Structure 1
Amino acid sequence: MAAQISKLPLTGLVSMVSEAKSEGVLRPTTSNDTGRYERTGLAEPVNMQISTGLFIRSLPEPAYLPFHWSAHIHPEGQLYFCREGSFRVVTEAYLYRPETLDQVTHWIKKIEDLMAEKNFPVSSQLELFIKIEDQDCAYYFVDHTTRAESWLENIDTDDLGLPPVVSISQLNILCEELYWSHVEHFPMHTGLDRNTLDSLVCVFTHAICDQMTSRVSTFPYSQKECEAFVSLLKNSRDHLSDGNIVCTVARLWSLICRNRYLTYYGQECSRLSRDQAVLYDPETKNQWVSTVASRISFKTADRYLAQLNDVFVDHLVYSEQWKSMVTGCLQDWRGALHGAFLGLMLHLFFLALTPSPSLAVASASLFVTSLLGSTLLIHRYAPLQGISAAEAMDYLEAIQSPTFKFQFVALTFALPHALNLWGTFVLFVNCIFMLATRFGTGFAAGISVVAVLAFLLFQWTTSERFNMSLTTFHDKFQAKFFSDPG
């Protein structure tokens, strides 16, 4: 999917601890702002002695953990720890290190004191996450009943790095996304109920129908991908207590919640089709650029501008539409490249016969420029064909001008084809000059008139106006000559 919650570090938050600065700062965070995939570290492998029968009768005794604490390994390999009690605590801090365990214990006590001071509701469905940051601590709560994250203080969404919302219900969708992100990161000590998985199957089943019957579905996955997800989920129904399945289901629910936020699910102005804009976007200024680009590119730039605008409605990108657009562009540019090469080859036949070397040089230059432009565009965009929706969104954000939007980008996309057409036109003019030299001006003029008429006829018969006029004429003719006399 195209957009994700910002993972910028939080700044300017007020400490919730009244002790001196040396005691550290407790700050709220979210499950998408823990830096889980940004940490770095170096392993130091050593040679180790394998004692007799080490792994035969039983596994070696694990390192000591305090009472109520247990260690778990995420399916991706991340070690985390969970404490059972009046409410659960989870952390990725390495508790086998005594000084880290002391820090975690210290901050849990601080948070418990604050909870008692603020009369924060406690239940067995409540779970606390803490992250040790040198002397400081980041935290958040999740409630498995309400499926939302919460904190001990009032805090703005902007301070948490969350995007803006239009209502409390949309904020609830954001908090549910954060909840599922937490469950995805800590799936091994809990299970799922059957309804959670069945509801997800129903969501993807509806998405299959939507993708099959609509060209502008707002669902972020294709029909084929949705069918694969449904099959995967149905095969998981008998393993709802397995952490691997919990992680899988939580990740998918997190993605569904993100898509619901982006489509304004349940809001007054929800996005019902992919090409429907629901956010204010000022009209593009300097439309003369599009007018000039349309004229010099034989309206080719208009087609590319429409495609770019269609794939980036409200600054959202759907991966299938992005891939389709880039694939079509690459096909166009390869076609322009082949056409430019053939145009250059035609110059070999006319090299000795052309009466106007300057026209030959001009047409050859246009074909060469088209060939080079096609090559550069193919080289630039072929690697972007398979990027994710988020990466495509970032790329389009970077190349979109605040003033001209995609007008110049569309013109650049259209140049190989436009230069091909201009090169063909100049080559045709050169051929007319050659015919005038060989067979006389009258013959050349006649060929020119025939060519122009053929071009106009082609343009007319392939236009919508022609088909509408033909239909109108047919209806009138049929009404006049074949109407029922009675």
Structure 2
Amino acid sequence: MAAQISDKFAGNGLATVVTDTKSEGILRPTTSNDTGRYDRTGFAVPLHMKISSGMFIGTRLPEPAYLPPNWSAHVHPEGQIYFSRRGSPSVVTEAYLYRPETLDKVTHWIKKIEDIAAGKNFPISENLELFIKIEGEGCAYYFVDHNSRAQSWMEDIDTDALGLPPVVSVSQLSQHPSFPLPLSRSNYTPDLCLEELYWGHVEFFPMHTSLPTNALDSLLCVLTHAICDQMTSRVSTFPYTKQECEAFVSLLKNSRDHLEDGNIVSTVARIWSLICRNRYLTQYGQEYSRLSRDQAVLYDPTTKHRWVSAIASRLSFKTSDRYLAKLDDLFVDHMVYIEEWKTMVTGCLQDWRRASQIAFFALILQAFVFALTPSISLAVTSASLFVASLLLSMLLVHRFDPLQGICVTDAMDYLESIQSPTFKFQFVALVYSLPQALNLWGILVFFVNCVYMLAMQFGAKFAVWISVIALFGVLVFQWTTSPRFNHSLTRLTAKFSRSADVFTSMV
């Protein structure tokens, strides 16, 4: 969310698919999620250079080295250089072609892939683009079709081998396109996962291509609906807030006249990629799609241990129930919305800081009780509970304070790490509730100690009456602040009003 949503399907190790290559290496399929773009390591060595007289006057600095015909170099808005070749198919690569040995490898593998495609009758057209990644003596590749907006490969390969997520039905592999396709392919329905990969490719290689106007128009319509959804629903499944969607709309409207600029192409492609990922996670277009972010649509075989929940609820005075509900609502079907995460963390930090303040002032009050109480054991017990609450509050604040600003992927990783396969978040919720629960137990022991002091000073009968009055006050408070009381009061008021109306009509 903001509200960027996130997942664990990208960047997985892909299965190696061996072709009939010789000792020069292995050709394997890959995806735009596994190009290793952000994993490279290397260091530049700055040197002093001699500037010749008039070098920069009336001409541009020559290219660092020769490129073959139809090849050109481009620089991504983030600064990464890549190379593209015009042709059928067109080719893109991030291999540094200014090195002759790298250029030789790229040329060799392009020829190899074209030969394999011809042998398999794999359709090659001008709308097809080939990506290759040199891996030592081997090569990874994929094709993208700019008409169908999907990635494809020359082999039959399982989605799990490509690191793609599972689908719930065959129909999820045939979603309707996000915007109209060219007339010749108007009946094509690309997979959401493959469409996401396509937009990831366009985002990484935007400088040599352009976008159709309907790609932008449809994206504006999607964001406009998202703004309305965020304004009228507190459980919208869109991964961005109303303010963020409005910022996107403003940014995209200003980009309408620059759809051939690589900066705009990369921007539009990134937003489309995120929307495709969110649509996959919400089962977009499926029989059981997710219509609100707190709605679970995936089968969960875990058995609920209600006895554990009941014990934790009693021990924490039902405080753990509140945290358990928050965690369960936050991590429905292992999805995380970043705004909901921030809200939960902020609320927990406020609760723990408040609990630490209560424990601190209760300990100050305990200092006076120690001098008066005839039961040192009760005083020590209540003080120990307050100290435990104070220390645990400080530890939880120290642990959670840095988690306020983490990204959605880190939030998901954290929730995955603390969720039990058997008990889910039950014990985590109990730990979160302990600062407040320990305070309540400390107050209860402190009250017992006070009653004991009254009994020693004024007799057991007086202490019993005080205890009964206090217990009655607690019960009245619990009843009057419960939803059941408000419902009963509403029914009683309505019944009294009807009786009054009948009496008035009779008079």
TM-score relative to the length of structure 2: 0.93
What RMSD over aligned residues (CA atoms) do the two structures have, in Å?
A: 1.4
Aligned residue number for residue 149 of structure 1: 151
Aligned residue number for residue 440 of structure 1: 459
Instruction: Find the partner of 1:11 among 7, 10, 15.
Output: 15
Instruction: Find the partner of 1:95 among 94, 97, 121.
Output: 97
CA distance in 2, matches of 1:184, 1:27: 22
Deviating more after overlay: 350-359 vs 301-310: 350-359
Q: Cα distance 1:26–1:57, how it changes in 2: closer, same or farther (>3 A)? A: same
Aligned residue number for residue 505 of structure 2: 485
Instruction: Find the partner of 1:346 among 365, 370, 380.
Output: 365
Aligned residue number for residue 26 of structure 1: 27
Aligned residue number for residue 131 of structure 1: 133
Deviation at 1:4, TM superposition (A): 4.2
Deviating more after overlay: 375-384 vs 282-291: 282-291
CA distance in 1, matches of 2:458, 2:57: 99
Which runs of structure 2 are paired with 1:192-207 in the superposition (5 Å)? 192-207=211-226
Aligned residue number for residue 337 of structure 1: 356
Of all paired residues, the percent bearing the same amino acid is 69
Q: Is the 8 A contact 1:220 1:259 kept in 2?
A: yes
Q: Is the 8 A contact 2:33 2:200 kept in 1?
A: yes
CA distance in 2, matches of 1:169, 1:228: 34
Deviation at 1:58, TM superposition (A): 1.9
Instruction: Find the partner of 2:260 among 229, 232, 241.
Output: 241
CA distance in 1, matches of 2:482, 2:305: 28
Q: Deviations over 1:165-215 (max 9, x none)?
A: 123443311000000000000000011121111111111111111111111
Deviation at 1:358, TM superposition (A): 0.9
Is it true that 1:322 corresponds to 2:341 in the alignment?
Answer: yes
Any idea what SS the aligned residue of 2:294 has?
Answer: coil
Deviating more after overlay: 383-392 vs 315-324: 383-392
Aligned residue number for residue 47 of structure 2: 46
Deviation at 1:468, TM superposition (A): 1.5
Aligned amino acid, residue 12 of structure 2: L
Aligned amino acid, residue 251 of structure 2: L
Instruction: Find the partner of 1:104 among 99, 106, 112.
Output: 106
Aligned amino acid, residue 84 of structure 1: R
CA distance in 2, matches of 1:186, 1:150: 17
Any idea what SS the aligned residue of 1:272 has?
Answer: coil
Instruction: Find the partner of 1:470 among 489, 493, 498.
Output: 489
Aligned amino acid, residue 126 of structure 1: L
CA distance in 2, matches of 1:280, 1:476: 45
Is it true that 1:369 corresponds to 2:388 in the alignment?
Answer: yes
Which runs of structure 2 are paired with 1:212-231 in the superposition (5 Å)? 212-231=231-250
Q: Is the 8 A contact 1:284 1:405 kept in 2?
A: no
Aligned residue number for residue 178 of structure 2: none
CA distance in 2, matches of 1:410, 1:80: 49
Deviation at 1:434, TM superposition (A): 2.1
Alignment size in residue pairs: 483
Q: Deviations over 1:346-392 (max 9, x none)?
A: 01222211121111100100000000010111111111112122211
Aligned amino acid, residue 332 of structure 1: D
Aligned residue number for residue 158 of structure 1: 160
Q: Deviations over 1:7-57 (max 9, x none)?
A: 1222342x22x242x122111110101111111112122121122232232
Q: Is the 8 A contact 1:2 1:392 kept in 2?
A: no
Any idea what SS the aligned residue of 2:144 has?
Answer: strand
Aligned residue number for residue 55 of structure 1: 56
Deviating more after overlay: 4-13 vs 340-349: 4-13
Deviating more after overlay: 79-88 vs 426-435: 426-435
Aligned residue number for residue 312 of structure 1: 331
Where structure 1 has 5 or more consecutive residues not aligned to the other structure, the ranges are none
Aligned residue number for residue 292 of structure 1: 311
Where structure 2 has 5 or more consecutive residues not aligned to the other structure, the ranges are 174-190
Any idea what SS the aligned residue of 2:371 has?
Answer: coil
Is it true that 1:268 corresponds to 2:284 in the alignment?
Answer: no
Q: Cα distance 1:19–1:255, how it changes in 2: closer, same or farther (>3 A)? A: closer
Aligned amino acid, residue 243 of structure 1: G
Q: Is the 8 A contact 1:370 1:415 kept in 2?
A: yes
CA distance in 2, matches of 1:54, 1:5: 50
Any idea what SS the aligned residue of 1:304 has?
Answer: helix
Q: Deviations over 1:131-183 (max 9, x none)?
A: 11111111100011110001112111011111111234433110000000000
Deviation at 1:225, TM superposition (A): 1.2
CA distance in 2, matches of 1:389, 1:76: 22
Q: Cα distance 1:169–1:59, how it changes in 2: closer, same or farther (>3 A)? A: farther
TM-score relative to the length of structure 1: 0.97
